[in-house]
Amino acid sequence: MQVSKADRHHETVEVARSFIERARSVASDAELVHLLDAVSGVLGFRYFALIHHVDLRRSSSGVIHLENYPPAWSARFIQSRQFLDDPVLLASLRTNVGFAWDAIPKMIRLTSRQREIFEAAAREGLGTGFTVPANIPGESCGSISFVMPPGRALPEQGLLAAELIGIYAFEAARRMRRPVLGTEPPRLTERQRECLIWAARGKTDGEIATIFGIGEETVTKHMNAARERYDVARRQQLIVAALFDGQISFLETLH
């Protein structure tokens, strides 16, 4: 008997709900990998990769790197540093919602190197895929991808469930690493933050002092104190760090 679209949608929603319930209590990477492997198959995918976008050659207990890709491709991807140019990882920085890989050329301009990465992946057994970004201020960016074998189309009815599963899978991996990832980022005072915003707009300490009607030495003290909180030596490093963890926004710096 043929399954209707409504029934299939209900099934995939139930798959996501079941995964979310179980993911909340996983206690090891092995358990999470087992769950992801099983749910990927149920949704119609063959592979998955849940990773931080960092140099995966340097293993660390705080880095997320869970996948079931073909071993030859995983080794090549890591050792040849293809993650630096990977179009999927770069595209995931442009959105906060899941995207199919065939949409990537509309999200970023593909280079010849990036096209070669797609072609090489296909030769190793990775076809099209669906990626859910995981970009959290103050932490390394990440994503989870669900991938088909070459020649197979994405299971359209399973994409919503895949997005939900991806979000909770990444959070489950983060939860198990929370003691390693550390505490909350340093917090700036309101005046330090205001001075930093104007510094990010290109103003000198003297110009910032004029804007606020305070002494230049006072502005310098605020900036030095902010650098100390972030443990950085230069103003540019401070601006980047504050943007990264969300203490100031790009919109504020562009006013």
pLDDT tens digits, one per residue of 99-124:
999 999 999 999 999 999 999 999 99
Residue 13 has pLDDT above 50, yes or no: yes
Burial class, 120, CB count within 10 angstroms (exposed 0-12 / middle 13-18 / buried 19+): middle
Q: What is the pLDDT of residue 79?
A: 84
First-to-final CA distance of the chain: 60
Domains and CATH numbers, the chain: 5-181 (3.30.450.80), 190-253 (1.10.10.10)
Q: What is the pLDDT of residue 140?
A: 81
Tens digit of each residue's pLDDT (9 = 90 or more) over 124-141: 999 999 999 998 776 788
* Rounded distance between C-alpha atoms, residue 172 and residue 168, angstroms: 6
Give 151's DSSP letter: T
Q: What is the pLDDT of residue 181?
A: 47
Residue 9, CB-side half-sphere exposure with 13 Å CA sphere: 4
Average pLDDT over residues 35-64: 88
Low-confidence winner among 64-68, 183-187, 216-220, 234-238 (lowest mean pLDDT): 183-187
Q: What is the pLDDT of residue 1?
A: 46
Q: What is the pLDDT of residue 251?
A: 80
For residue 51, the surrounding DSSP H or E stretch is strand 47-52
Q: Could you tell me which residues come within 8 angstroms of residue 252 by beta carbon, excluding any fewer than 6 positions away?
A: 197, 200
Q: What is the pLDDT of residue 199?
A: 94
Q: What Å distances lie between residue 231 and 63, 237, 241, CA to CA? A: 22, 10, 10
Q: Tokens 């906060």 correspond to what residue? A: 96
